[in-house]
Homo-oligomer: A and B are copies of this chain.
Amino acid sequence: MSETKEIEIMQSVYDKNDQEAAKINETLTNSGIYAVNVMGAPGAGKTSTLIQIVKRLGDITPYVIEGDIEADFDTKHLLSLGVKAIQINTGGACHLDSPLIGKAVEELQIKDGLLFIENIGNLVCPAEFMIGEHAKMLISQVTEGSDKPYKYPLAFEKADIIILNKCDLLPYIDFDESFFMKGVRALNKTAPVVKVSCKTGEGFDEVLVWIREKMKA
């Protein structure tokens, strides 16, 4: 296949995805749902972040769509906490897309609340696909190193909030925070960067302030 042909095919995949994303977003908005696309590398702490947030939501009802290639540990964990959660297994695909989310939203039948869509653990592909979200939350773990914004720019550029997780490990590793922040700000002038630890719960009150403001707006 020619390269031009391949690019045309990819463009048609993106266009179809984005049209469907816009429809999902409209459906969710009309149902009083604020949707957050949660992105991050494998093991960055996406589910652990959601658990910390859910504990602090008060009168806001949380819903979760869990994306994984295989397995359903995280969904089981969330269900055990009383969160309405459903699992999507992509069986190999490296990101969630709008057709998958469209079906899951129909199945969940949700109204008035906060929907987290936890994407596949991947710092590359999920950032390219809108899935009906109102905001993108990027989870980066300090143990990944401070050069990640430079190497994986799109995820950092598109994020509406950046959660810097596992800060309890900072005393034991070499993490250059000013280099990290310089990389982030070269791509993204406005997203708050919140230092947290899912182990200790530190930092999550600030995340909750952001969520409440976004949901009011």
Is A113's CB within 8 Å of the partner chain B? no
Among B16, B69, B143, B153, point to the contact of A141 (Cβ < 8 A).
B143
Alpha-carbon gap, A151 to B43, bound state (A): 10
On whether the beta carbons of A121 and B152 are closer than 8 Å, the reply is: yes
Is A173's CB within 8 Å of the partner chain B? yes
List B contacts of A120 (CB < 8 A).
124
Alpha-carbon gap, A71 to B120, bound state (A): 24
Is A210's CB within 8 Å of the partner chain B? no
List B contacts of A53 (CB < 8 A).
none
Contact with B along A92-127 (1 / 0, CB 8 A): 101000000000000000000000000011111100
On whether the beta carbons of B151 and A71 are closer than 8 Å, the reply is: yes
List B contacts of A13 (CB < 8 A).
1, 6
Q: Which B residue sits closest to A150, measured CB to CB?
A: B71
Q: Which B residue sits closest to A166, measured CB to CB?
A: B143
Interface size on A, residues (CB 8 A): 39
A17 → B minimal CB distance (Å): 12
Among B1, B41, B70, point to the contact of A9 (Cβ < 8 A).
B1
A129 → B minimal CB distance (Å): 12
Q: Answer whether A42 and B92 are a contact pair too, CB < 8 Å, given A125-B125, A143-B169.
A: no
Contact with B along A57-92 (1 / 0, CB 8 A): 000000000001111010000000000000000001
Is A144's CB within 8 Å of the partner chain B? yes
A46 → B minimal CB distance (Å): 11
Contact with B along A161-199 (1 / 0, CB 8 A): 000001011001100000000000000000000000000
A135 → B minimal CB distance (Å): 22
A76 → B minimal CB distance (Å): 12
6 A-B residue contacts at CB 8 Å? Answer: A1-B16, A6-B13, A43-B144, A94-B125, A121-B124, A121-B152
9 nearest A-B pairs in the assembled complex, by CB-CB distance: A43-B144, A94-B124, A143-B143, A71-B150, A41-B42, A43-B145, A42-B123, A71-B151, A94-B125
